[in-house]
Amino acid sequence: MKQNLSRRRFVQSGALLAAACAAPATVPAFAQPSGASGKPSPIHLGMASYTFRNFNRAQLIGSMKQLNLADLNAKDVKDHLPMDPAEEAKALADYAAAGIKLHAAGTISFAKDDEADIRSKFEYCKRAGISVIVAGDPKPATLPHIEKFVKEYDFRFAIHNHGPEDKLWPSPLDVLHAVKNMDPRMGCCIDVGHAVRAGADIVQTIHAVGPRLFNMHMKDLANFTDKDSQVAVGEGTMPVRGIFEALIAIKYKGFVDLEYEIHGDDPMPGVAESFAFMRGVLAGMGYANGVTL
């Protein structure tokens, strides 16, 4: 596969994959990790369950199977990963039966500066066998208390940036400034869409965050100043290949989780197109889990 495949071909492949996903048939071969040639990819693609926030766990699992995905960043939305221990156990059993592995949980609210509340969130992730917490809203004054639990549980705590509307964490660089002198397991979940809206150069930001990057939420925008301009990955202006190259350069070991926040009642066409595009980029970089066109 040539490294300079056009955006049009990626979009066409996404449309075909979307059509396939609308039917009960399996995903066509071109959308599968090729495996036959190329080197193993250091970029690991996953799904943020918030993408399917309007769908229940069974539907989420079915969609992931159609997309040939086995790695999930789960959130307590619908019945994806409930906080209640008994209901959480049912969810974990369903994921295990489907061959789906949970690598992160979030976003999880840490709005309360209360040790009992903080511990309950860590226990929630411990029960699930998850050691990466994606946090949405911890106040800077709460971070030393959270750091104590990070040390106790040996978890990585990834603060999610939410763009210029977020008064606490608009950019990953704001997170980095707050945690740079803390335990090395205190770090970032970079949401690339919100980061660019906050004025961050996303490739430079990845290099700046470096070893404190524990999770990434991938999306695309047609206009880096317009929150409402989100599109399927590959249809906008996000430098996807540059992002992948930067992640490889910093030896990032975590996941790139698609968080598709538009078309909540019918996300599959855009989700399928996004994965077709990202897999195509990886194939163009010579990696075996890209697509073959």
Beta strands in 49-182 (DSSP E): 71-74, 101-108, 132-135, 156-160
Rounded to an integer, the average pLDDT of 247-266 is 97
Q: When comparing pLDDT for 113 and 12, which is higher?
A: 113
Quote the pLDDT of residue 208: 98
Interacting residues of 107 by C-beta distance below 8 A, sequence separation 6+: 50, 75, 134, 135, 136, 160, 189
Q: What's the average model confidence in pLDDT over 74-103?
A: 98
pLDDT confidence of residue 27: 39
Asked if residue 103 has pLDDT above 60, the reply is: yes
pLDDT tier for residue 223 given thresholds of 50, 70 and 90: very high
Per cent of the chain over pLDDT 70 is 86
Helix, strand, or coil (residue 89): helix
The arithmetic mean of pLDDT across residues 176-192, rounded, is 98
Task: Say what the pLDDT of residue 288 is.
Answer: 78
Q: How far apart are CA 176 and CA 9, in angstroms?
A: 37
Q: Indicate left, alpha or beta for 249 from its phi (over 0: left) and psi (-120 to 50: alpha).
A: alpha
Question: Crossing angle for the helix pair 240-249 and 202-209, nearest 10 degrees?
Answer: 20
pLDDT digits (tens, 9 = 90+) for 109-154: 999 999 999 999 999 999 999 999 999 999 999 999 999 999 999 9
pLDDT at 263: 97
**Which one, of 203, 209, 273, 286, lies nearest residue 238 by Cα?**
203
| Distance, CA of 159 to CA of 191 (rounded, Å) | 10
Which of 170-174's residues contact partners 24+ apart within 8 Å by CB, and which partners?
170/194, 170/198, 171/195, 171/198, 171/199, 171/200, 171/205, 172/200, 172/205, 172/208, 172/209, 172/213, 173/200, 173/205, 173/208, 173/209
Alpha-carbon distances, residue 182 vs 10, 145, 178, 208, 287 (angstroms): 42, 11, 8, 16, 35
CATH numbers and ranges of domains, the chain: 8-18+40-284 (3.20.20.150)
Residue 22 vs residue 40, higher pLDDT: 40
Q: Which of 10-14, 71-75, 82-86, 261-265 has the lowest mean pLDDT?
A: 10-14
User: Which structure tokens are listed for 78?
Assistant: 């619908």
DSSP for 208-257? HHGGGEEEEEE-EESSTT-GGGEE-TTTS---HHHHHHHHHHTT--SEEE
Task: Please report the pLDDT score of residue 38 as a whole number.
Answer: 75
What's the pTM value of the predicted model, to 2 decimals? 0.87
